[in-house]
Each structure stands twice: as C-alpha cells, then as structure tokens.
C-alpha cells in the first residue's frame, strides 16, 4: 500500500514538473528573430485570417502575444546576469537593428593655424597645472581667469619706466593693451572659423582700419564700386570724383571680310616663319641693354663698397656690344638674368 | 544655425551645456517625439494622442494648440518645430470627413522629413477605459512584431522601423529582470495593424525562466495603413551611416582555422641558447679539463596554440 502511494506521489511530482517545463516552451513553425539589445522580437509565422473572427479576435491576439513574449523572455533570461544593489540585472548586448540617426555624425574640427604649425614642427602641448602659487597673496590661485595669480590689471602700484612719458597713464595703458590682445585673439578665432568653413574674407588692405590713408581709402572705394553686377557702370559718382578710367578695348578683324587682306597676312606670317634671320624688336633690345648697364654699375659700386677684389665679370668686357649682338627676341631672355657671354646662344 | 554656433561663443556654462546637448554626437541619446493636433480633431484623436504621450513620457512633448498644416503637402512647419524642440520623431493627429481619425507617424533626419506614414484609427480603446493597474512611466517596453507583412512588404518594413524608433526607450547596457513589465504587440494582417499593450506577470515555473501571463492595460488600436511618404534610398542610406569611430575595433593577432581553433602569435625575445634552463644531467656536467658538447634544444618560439 505504501509502495502504491509512493509511486503515485512520484508520478504526480513528475507530471507537475512536466507541466511547469511545458509552460515555458512554445511551439512555433518558424523561429522568432530576436534583438535583445532593443528587447525586440519579430514573428514571421503566418497568421490565418480565420483566426481573427470578430468574437475571438482579442483572445487570439492575447494568446499570440503571450507566446511571443514567452519566447522573448526565454531569450532575455539566457543573458548573463549580475546583482546590483539587491536587484538582479541582465546585461544586454548591443542592439542589432539598424535605425536611422537623428543628425549627421559630427565632423572633426579642422585644425587651426597654430595647430597646423605645431604639427609641422612637432611641438607638443605641455600639460600645465591649474593652480599657481601666488607669492603676494600667499595662496594657490588659478593660472588664468577670475582672481588669477598674476593679474597685472589689478595692481595698485606701477613704476613708471624711465623711457616713458611722465604724463602717461600707465594703468590706462595696461588696460588698453589687454583690450588689444583680446581683440586680436577674437580676430584670430574668427579667421580660423572662416578658414575652416571656407568663407571668403576680404584682404587685409581692404578690411577697415582705424586710420586709413588717402590711397587706401580710394582703393577700397574703387573695389567696392566695381563689385556690383554691372561692374560699377551705373553707380553714382561724387561731384568732384574722377570718372573711372576705361580700359583699352581690343579690336579684332571681322571673321569673313577682306579676303585679300587675310591672304596678305598669312603669306607674311609664312615668310617670317621661314626666314633664318632672327627677328629684332628694337625697343625691347634697347631696354634690355639699358637695364643690363644699370645692373652692372650697381654691382660695381656694391663690389667697391664691399672691397672685394678681382671680379672678372664677363659682362664687364662684353659691355658695348651693340644692338646686333643681342639679337634675340626677349621671350628667351627673361628679366634680370645675367648671361655669361651675351650674344652667343 | 550651425554657421553661427562657433562664431557666437556661449557666455554661461548653462548655455554651453544646452548647446552641447543639441550638437550632433557620436552615440545619440533617445529620440524625443512631438505630438501635435491638426486643424480639426475629434475626441478619439485627442484622447489617443494623450495616451501615446503617456506611453512615450518623458521623451515627448504634447502640444495643446491646433496647427493648421498638412504634413504630406508642406512639412516646413514640422521642421521648424523640430528645430526648436530638438525632436526627431513626430505624431500628427487630425480628423476630417475624408480622413477620419488620422494619425501620421513620422521621423526627421537633420531636421528634414525622412519618413511619414499615415494610419487611420478604426477602433480605439483608451487607457482609462481598461481598468487594470498600469506600469510606471518610463519603463522600457518589450516590442513584438507579428505577421509576415512586416518582413515582406516594403511599407510595412519602414513602418516597423519607425515604430521601433518611436517606442523603444533609451538604449541601456543592462535591464532589471523584475522590471520587464510593459509589452507592446503589433500584428499586421491584410493591411491592418493591431497594436496592443500588455503588462506581464512573471509566474513561477519549474526552472529559472518564469512563465509569462499577460494582462491588457494600455491603449489598444486597430490601424489601417493609408498614405506613406518614404525617403529616397540614398537619403535613407545617408541617415543610417554610422561614424567610423563607433565601429568595434578589430582585435589584432587573432586568427581562426577551419576547425575554429583560435590562433595567436607569441613573439619571443632572442634567447641565448647557451644559457637555456634545461634538465640538469649530472653526468654531462662540465668537469675541469673536459670538454662536453651540450645538446642544443631547438625551440620554435613562433606559433603557440591557444585553445579557444
């Protein structure tokens, strides 16, 4: 009898255990796709439209939801857990679903002018301490900022240096110097930003200054006038202002006009190309010669002053060669280059 | 705005923190949503908007006033609002004769509209109508999507991505197991989408994993998919681009062979083989006057097997 009851008990216990084990298992045709990082589960199984009859719709949906949630929870419980202040916490992996971002990823800041230079030279930043020992106040103060260690604008006594004007206000001078430094820093910061965003800034001669000379003002004014859509042709003029100088307008022959003229021109061109004699541009040759003579005189003076001896410049001997000797179009010559033996190529 | 950002430096720490929170970041925080009403709304729509706002709290703003705009035609007003409140998701509810009880779910990328999907509400049961104890605000919900349409149909796929974006909470590294209460279940059948919200009760089962019993709490919606305005493919791809810094760094010196054994290289310093610590053989020890040749043990220090 006892054996029977024991068997019964065992059978009952087994049945119960099977029951509980069954309770967390769910049968599905297709496995679900999980994204534990987002606590997400996707069920791709087909849903029969007949299951969604009006009466049992809610129950069907609830049963479906229960099954899917059970599978999701089974997956979540497989994650590694740890205990954090009397609560059991499961560590989630990274979310795998790709979702669009809110904003574009941040662009790295382009280096400033100083940073580029430092990189080029290999200058590294030295880590400085935040606090500096201030002797006068006998305490640790900030290196810069509010109530800093060596604030020279806050001094109550400044010795007037010997070279300075006795009536000059040294305190005002210091304050002004600081203001100028701040303004310079601000200007450099804005320039860095403009360079990084590739915004065009006007050249330094055109930026407004405290006192500009007459030429600078005139130049700035003319640039401003011509920077309109019609290149300043319809801008009003001041009563005594001179009208803008018209540039030389090039003239061209019409395309199909004078046939004999064209024929003449082309024959001449061919003749010039054919000749073996070099062509001579008299003005250019004369100018070149004059320039060279000036250069030689200057060099001679310089050498005399320096006191160097024995300079046998080939050009010294080759001076009075004349026009024929030069003989080539200035295209080959180039400005300012001295030839060892002029006339020979 | 970005052009002036670096030109105008913030003067207080508070404004600096504010600008930094709005600046683009490598890993972004949770997206917030703007919930707004259109020119004409019905009781259903206003109540539904309030319910979704309570689901999405605290990362949502609910506007009380009506906005007479049509998102599908003109999205400038939406973009303006998103710039002001720094929200990248929106929900626009309206009601007119042609489109009764209309919801437009949408998201923005870089303050321009990315996707917009219009859903019509057929049946709606509000939070207050279902009498059950609710989950606390701000719990991260578990999302379940059922139905093949969410995988096969393009529009449904975008809708799924949008709903995940909308309803998932902040991305957390760990979650409290007892706090997994809220479940949002979406089913897609024949162009209709059923959204149900349940609360899970963790019951004892024989093993460690509990058995789930569900209790319906939240608002339940029967949606019908209507118009969509989806982003073009290249804009969509651009929105998904992750910055390079986020890519996981590849660990060097680890290779696997066909069997899955993990290999690594151990680089040894040059050894002086005459000073190797070998077995001491007393008989071979150097005695005075005798020359003994030692055995050189050649070691190949190159590849050491590391069992994976």
Q: How far apart are CA A92 and CA A88, in angstroms?
A: 13
A329, pLDDT greater than 50: no
B118, pLDDT greater than 90: yes
Which chain A residue shows the shortest CA-CA distance from B240? A100
Q: 3-state secondary structure string, chain B?
A: CHHHHHHCCCCCHHHHHHHHHHCCCCCCCCCCEEEEECCCCCHHHHHHHHHHHHHHCCCEEEEEEECCCCCCCCCHHHHHHHHHHCCCEEEEEECCCCCCCEEEEEEEECCEEEEEEEEEEEEEECCCCCCCCCCCCCCCCEEEEECCHHHHCHHHHHHHHHHHHHHCCCCCCEEEHHHCCEEEEEEEECCEEEEEEEEEEEECCCCCCCEEEEEECCCEEEEEEEEEECCCHHHHHHHHCCCHHHCCCCCCCCEECCCCCEEEECCCCCCCHHHCCCCCCHHHCCCCCCCCCCCCCCCCCCEEECCC
In a domain, B11, yes or no: no
CATH number at residue B62: 3.40.50.10480
What is the pLDDT averaged over residues B155-171?
A: 91
Q: Is the ipTM of this complex over 0.95?
A: no
In a domain, B233, yes or no: yes
Interchain pair A193, B7: CB under 8 A: yes
In a domain, B264, yes or no: no
Highest mean pLDDT of the ranges A230-234, B204-208, B245-249: A230-234
- pLDDT digits 0-9 by tens, A262-308: 899 999 999 988 888 777 788 999 999 999 999 898 888 888 877 75
Q: What pLDDT band is residue A114 in, cutting at 50, 70 and 90?
A: very high
> Is the pLDDT higher at B206 or at A100?
A100
Q: What is the number of alpha carbons within 13 Å of residue B279 lying toward its C-beta?
A: 4
- pLDDT digits 0-9 by tens, B134-145: 888 888 999 999
Interchain pair A105, B176: CB under 8 A: no
In a domain, B2, yes or no: no
A43, pLDDT greater than 60: yes
Q: Which of residues 104-133 of A touch B (CB under 8 A)?
A: 104-106
In a domain, B23, yes or no: no
Q: What is the pLDDT of residue B254?
A: 85
In a domain, B24, yes or no: no
Q: What pLDDT band is residue B190 in, cutting at 50, 70 and 90?
A: confident
**How many domains is chain B partitioned into structurally?**
1
Of B25, B150, B174, the CB nearest to A90: B174
In a domain, B52, yes or no: yes
Question: What are the angstrom distances between the C-alpha of B16 and each of A130, A255, B20?
Answer: 21, 68, 6
Domain hosting residue B127, numbered range? 29-171+178-240
Q: Which of residues 247-306 of B touch A (CB under 8 A)?
A: none
In a domain, B186, yes or no: yes
Give this prediction's pTM: 0.65
Q: Which of residues 232-261 of A touch B (CB under 8 A)?
A: none
For testing the chain A interface, which of B30, B108, B143 should be mutated: the one with the most A CBs within 10 Å? Answer: B143
> Is the pLDDT higher at A21 or at A193?
A193
A201, pLDDT greater than 60: yes
Length of chain B in terms of residues written: 308
CB contact at 8 A, A41 and B177: no
Quote the mean pLDDT of chain A: 80
Quote the mean pLDDT of chain B: 85
Q: What is the pLDDT of residue A339?
A: 46
């Amino acid at each position: 009898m006892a054996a029977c009851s024991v068997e019964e008990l065992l059978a009952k216990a087994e049945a119960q255990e099977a029951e509980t084990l069954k309770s967390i298992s769910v049968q599905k045709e297709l496995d679900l796709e999980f994204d534990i990082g987002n606590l997400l589960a996707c069920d791709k199984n087909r849903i029969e439209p007949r299951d969604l009859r009006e009466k049992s719709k809610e129950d069907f949906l609830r049963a479906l939801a229960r099954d899917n949630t059970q599978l999701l929870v089974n997956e979540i419980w497989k994650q590694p857990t740890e205990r954090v202040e009397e609560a059991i916490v499961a560590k989630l992996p990274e979310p795998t679903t790709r979702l669009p971002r809110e904003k574009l990823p941040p662009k790295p800041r382009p280096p400033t002018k100083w940073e580029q230079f430092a990189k080029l030279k290999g200058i590294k930043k030295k880590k400085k301490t935040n606090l500096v020992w201030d002797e006068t106040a006998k305490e640790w103060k900030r290196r810069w900022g509010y109530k800093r260690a060596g604030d020279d604008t806050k001094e109550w006594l400044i010795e007037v240096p010997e070279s300075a004007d006795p009536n000059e206000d040294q305190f005002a001078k210091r304050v002004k110097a600081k203001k100028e430094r701040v303004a310079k820093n601000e200007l450099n910061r804005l320039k860095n930003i403009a360079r990084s965003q590739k915004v065009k800034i006007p050249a330094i001669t055109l930026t407004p200054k405290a006192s500009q000379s007459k030429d600078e003002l005139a130049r700035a004014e003319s640039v401003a006038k011509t920077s309109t859509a019609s290149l300043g042709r319809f801008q009003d003029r001041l009563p005594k202002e001179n009208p803008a100088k018209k540039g030389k307008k090039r003239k061209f022959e019409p395309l199909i006009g004078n046939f004999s003229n064209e024929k003449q021109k082309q024959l001449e061109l061919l003749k010039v190309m054919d000749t073996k004699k070099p062509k001579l541009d008299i003005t250019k040759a004369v100018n070149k010669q004059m320039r060279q003579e000036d250069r030689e005189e200057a060099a001679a003076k310089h050498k005399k002053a320096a006191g160097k001896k024995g300079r046998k410049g080939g050009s010294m001997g080759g001076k009075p060669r004349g026009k024929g000797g030069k003989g080539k179009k200035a295209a080959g010559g180039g400005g300012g280059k001295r030839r060892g033996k002029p006339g020979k190529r | 705005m970005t052009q002036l950002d670096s030109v105008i430096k913030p003067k207080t720490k508070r404004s600096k923190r504010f600008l930094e929170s709005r600046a683009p970041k490598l890993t972004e925080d949770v997206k917030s949503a703007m919930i707004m009403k259109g020119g004409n709304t019905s009781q259903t729509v206003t109540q539904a908007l309030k319910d979704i706002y309570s689901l999405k709290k605290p990362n949502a703003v609910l506007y009380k006033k009506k906005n007479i705009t049509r998102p599908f035609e003109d999205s400038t007003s939406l973009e303006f609002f998103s710039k002001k409140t720094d929200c990248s998701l929106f929900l626009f509810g309206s009601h007119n004769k042609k489109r009764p009880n209309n919801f437009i779910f949408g998201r923005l990328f870089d303050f321009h509209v990315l996707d917009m999907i219009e859903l019509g509400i057929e049946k709606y049961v509000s939070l207050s109508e279902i009498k059950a104890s609710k989950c606390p605000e701000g719990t991260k919900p578990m999302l379940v999507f059922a139905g093949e349409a969410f995988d096969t149909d393009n529009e449904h796929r975008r809708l799924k991505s949008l709903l995940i974006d909308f309803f998932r909470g902040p991305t957390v590294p760990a979650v409290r197991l007892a706090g997994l209460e809220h479940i949002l279940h979406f089913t897609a059948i024949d162009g209709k989408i059923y959204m149900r919200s349940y609360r899970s009760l963790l019951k004892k089962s024989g093993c460690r994993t509990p058995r789930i019993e569900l209790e319906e709490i939240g608002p339940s919606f029967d949606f019908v998919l209507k118009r969509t305005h989806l982003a073009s493919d290249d804009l969509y791809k651009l929105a998904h681009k992750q910055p390079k810094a986020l890519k996981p760094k590849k660990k060097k010196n680890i290779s696997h062979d066909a069997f899955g054994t993990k290999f690594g290289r151990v680089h040894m310093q040059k050894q002086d083989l005459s000073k190797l610590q070998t077995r001491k053989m007393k008989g071979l020890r150097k005695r005075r006057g005798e020359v003994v040749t030692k055995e050189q043990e050649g070691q190949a220090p190159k590849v050491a097997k590391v069992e994976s």
